[in-house]
A and B are shown apart, each in its own frame.
Chain A
Amino acid sequence: MTLQKPGDLLGAIGGVPMPPNEVVVEAAGVEKWFGRLHVLKGVSMTVKRQEVVVVIGASGSGKTTFIRCMNHLEKIQGGRIFVNGHLIGYREVGGKLVEDREKNIAKQRQEIGMVFQRFNLFPHMTALQNITEAPLLVRKTPQAEAVEMGRALLARVGLSSKENVYPNQLSGGQQQRVAIARALAMKPALMLFDEPTSALDPEMIGEVLEVIKELAREGMTMIVVSHEMGFAREVADRVVMMDDGQIIEEGTPEHFFTSPTHERTKSFLSKIL
């Protein structure tokens, strides 16, 4: 496996983390129920190495739930999700899914970075500590190395001066950039973003999207739930439209701008564009 020439941002973690397989995400027929509410109705999706997929869809259509299933923050009741060839969250015993041991699930999650709508930074830790915590604790990275990587990441997201600052002293945009750096510090082969800019004031959306665009340019494999269609047009290889727990339309960003076919897609796009 050859590493790409390290880009600006991913250079901070020693280059693009290369997923071992050509296919990074393989979700097949995923079923999810919250009690009696059928939230995912047989969702399938394939994401290839270095692909950027943007997921759109109305509120409640199941976008968040779907990407949370990908790192087993939600259990699934049917179907399979493979990331890097590993069946996520389960072992297959006689054709049936049995939840995997916690240790194995934690190990699988190390390969999958997640960025939340509400940042979820650790408020009792400085920006730098937020980034170094998991490498130190989980990957057992030596302190000096973790700090060096943390500083490099902070520099690349433009927050060198905020190293020793606590999250509550950072703006929303700055917090989200730290959160992205925190996820990258684990050198994930896949990054999941759940509406990373929807909790931000308009003037801060750009700075966060810039970082994500840079990641895309450098070859990070990503699934981004976002309604920022301008962003999707720039970086998405594929846009996926979800509606009522199903994927109803898929295509290039251009397709969605020029010739969406599904009625629900048309009416949804007319609301957000």
Chain B
Amino acid sequence: MPVGIAVIAVLVAGCSSNASSTVHLNWNYFFDSVFHPDSQIQNGLWLTVSIAITSQLIGVTLGTFAALAKMAKFRPFRIIANVYIWLFRGTPLVVQIVLFYFGLSVAHIYGWPTINFFGIHIDGAIQAGVFALGVNEGAYFAEIVRAGILAIDPGQMEAAKSLGMTYGQGMRRIVLPQAARVIVPPLGNEFNNMLKTTSLLVLISVPELYTVFNRKQGNYFAPFEFYLAAAVWFLLLTTIWSVIQAWIERKLAKGTAGSANAGPGLMDRLFGRTPAVGEDVPVISGGR
């Protein structure tokens, strides 16, 4: 923490000493963007958060089905799931975004018309963006769900079956609820990523937070002030999310006293965790 403050201090000092040269920084751009965000920034914020949430929900749903399909007895399900995961993890998200939006519409496959959702008009670019982010996330999330399911003792499904439950009933009532506890921490990290990854939608001009600042810096030719403000806003979003995440995990850990641990504290989440020597750190893969 103090190091961070020092870095900022040096930056600010450096900037002001440069003021005499040709570079002139207008700090009002920065402070206004942060403390008096105009309607563009407010809308961008709202859009970023709602796109992230919607995309994450799509990703969780698709990922769960893909994980189940990947473990299915029925071979075609396994093949479909594997091809899906292979395609979306094997190609850049950037390419997926532009291909879905520009590619599909220019090829006259799907034109992304504006839709009216309970009185809210949702632009085609937003739909395409959410679609790309969600489908991409699903491919990664499938592996997280699969790891979560595999982490559950096979004896649980056997006990369920021995009581007359079908595979589906055992999955839904016995295995998945237990896997959920394993999945929640990596899910939190995925959403942290998602909040930031929405900025890629600048490519298809979705007016989310980053796009708004990108435009502003161009209009005023003040990249340092506006990009720094964008960074502050994203940092605020991910920090708020870390607080919520820590709270959720503490709640979940309470359900079964003693078994689950509460996961890293807020400080570890924000500044990274350095495990003590000899300490076992559970690793759940799935990051990109």
B158 and A120 form a contact (CB under 8 A): yes
Q: Does residue B255 face the partner (Cβ distance < 8 Å to A)?
A: yes
Task: Bin the interface of chain A by size.
Answer: 20 to 34
Contact of A124 with B256 at beta-carbon distance under 8 Å, contacts A118-B155, A133-B173 already known: yes
Q: What is the bound-complex CA distance between A65 and B105, given in angstroms? A: 58
Q: Whole-angstrom distance from the CB of B23 to the nearest CB of chain A?
A: 60
Of B153, B167, B174, B256, the residue contacting A102 (CB under 8 A) is: B167
Contact of A73 with B161 at beta-carbon distance under 8 Å, contacts A120-B156, A169-B257 already known: yes
Q: Whole-angstrom distance from the CB of A213 to the nearest CB of chain B?
A: 22
B258 and A122 form a contact (CB under 8 A): no
Q: Does residue A62 face the partner (Cβ distance < 8 Å to B)?
A: no
A168 and B162 form a contact (CB under 8 A): no
Of B160, B178, B258, the residue contacting A168 (CB under 8 A) is: B258
Q: What is the bound-complex CA distance between A73 and B161, given in angstroms? A: 8
Contact of A120 with B164 at beta-carbon distance under 8 Å, contacts A137-B173, A166-B256, A168-B259 already known: no
Q: Does residue B263 face the partner (Cβ distance < 8 Å to A)?
A: no
Question: Contacts of B155 on A, CB cut-off 8 Å?
Answer: 116, 118, 120
B178 and A123 form a contact (CB under 8 A): yes
B164 and A186 form a contact (CB under 8 A): yes
Indicate the member of B153, B178, B256, B258 with the most A CB atoms within 10 Å. B256
Q: Whole-angstrom distance from the CB of B219 to the nearest CB of chain A?
A: 54
Of A113, A124, A137, A166, the residue contacting B162 (CB under 8 A) is: A113
Task: Bin the interface of chain B by size.
Answer: 20 to 34
Q: Does residue A180 face the partner (Cβ distance < 8 Å to B)?
A: no
Question: Contacts of B202 on A, CB cut-off 8 Å?
Answer: none
Query: Among the listed stretches A33-41, A44-52, A104-112, A235-243, which one makes contact with chain B, having 4 or more residues with CB under 8 Å of it?
Result: A104-112
Q: Does residue A58 face the partner (Cβ distance < 8 Å to B)?
A: no
Question: Contacts of A134 on B, CB cut-off 8 Å?
Answer: 160, 163-165
Q: What is the bound-complex CA distance between A114 and B167, given in angstroms? A: 17
Q: Does residue B193 face the partner (Cβ distance < 8 Å to A)?
A: no
A124 and B158 form a contact (CB under 8 A): no
Q: Which residue of A lies closest to B174 (CB)?
A: A122
Q: What is the bound-complex CA distance between A166 and B160, given in angstroms? A: 17
Q: What is the bound-complex CA distance between A16 and B165, given in angstroms? A: 22
Question: Contacts of B257 on A, CB cut-off 8 Å?
Answer: 166, 168-169
Q: What is the bound-complex CA distance between A118 and B177, given in angstroms? A: 20
Of A106, A124, A166, A169, the residue contacting B164 (CB under 8 A) is: A106
Q: What is the bound-complex CA distance between A116 and B155, given in angstroms? A: 9
Q: What is the bound-complex CA distance between A169 and B257, given in angstroms? A: 8
B177 and A169 form a contact (CB under 8 A): no
Q: Which residue of B lies closest to A122 (CB)?
A: B174
Q: Does residue A84 face the partner (Cβ distance < 8 Å to B)?
A: no
Q: Whole-angstrom distance from the CB of B150 to the nearest CB of chain A?
A: 16
Contact of A138 with B167 at beta-carbon distance under 8 Å, contacts A120-B153, A120-B158, A166-B256 already known: no
A169 and B163 form a contact (CB under 8 A): no
Q: Mark B159-202, 1 if CB is under 8 A from A, else 0.
A: 11111111101000110011001000000000000000000000
Question: Contacts of B174 on A, CB cut-off 8 Å?
Answer: 122
Q: What is the bound-complex CA distance between A106 and B164, given in angstroms? A: 5
A109 and B164 form a contact (CB under 8 A): yes
A73 and B173 form a contact (CB under 8 A): no
Q: Mark B230-254, 1 if CB is under 8 A from A, else 0.
A: 0000000000000000000000000
13 contacts between A and B (CB under 8 A): A73-B158, A106-B161, A109-B161, A110-B163, A118-B155, A120-B153, A120-B158, A134-B163, A137-B165, A137-B173, A138-B169, A168-B256, A186-B164
Residues of B within 8 A of A (CB): 153, 155-156, 158-167, 169, 173-174, 177-178, 181, 255-259
**When A and B form their complex, which 3 residue pairs have the shortest distance between CB atoms, in order from nearest?**
A110-B164, A134-B163, A120-B159
Instruction: List 20 additional contacts besides A71-B162, A73-B158; criterion CB under 8 Å.
Output: A73-B161, A103-B166, A106-B166, A113-B162, A120-B155, A120-B158, A121-B159, A122-B174, A123-B178, A124-B178, A133-B163, A133-B173, A134-B164, A138-B164, A138-B165, A139-B164, A166-B256, A168-B258, A169-B258, A186-B164
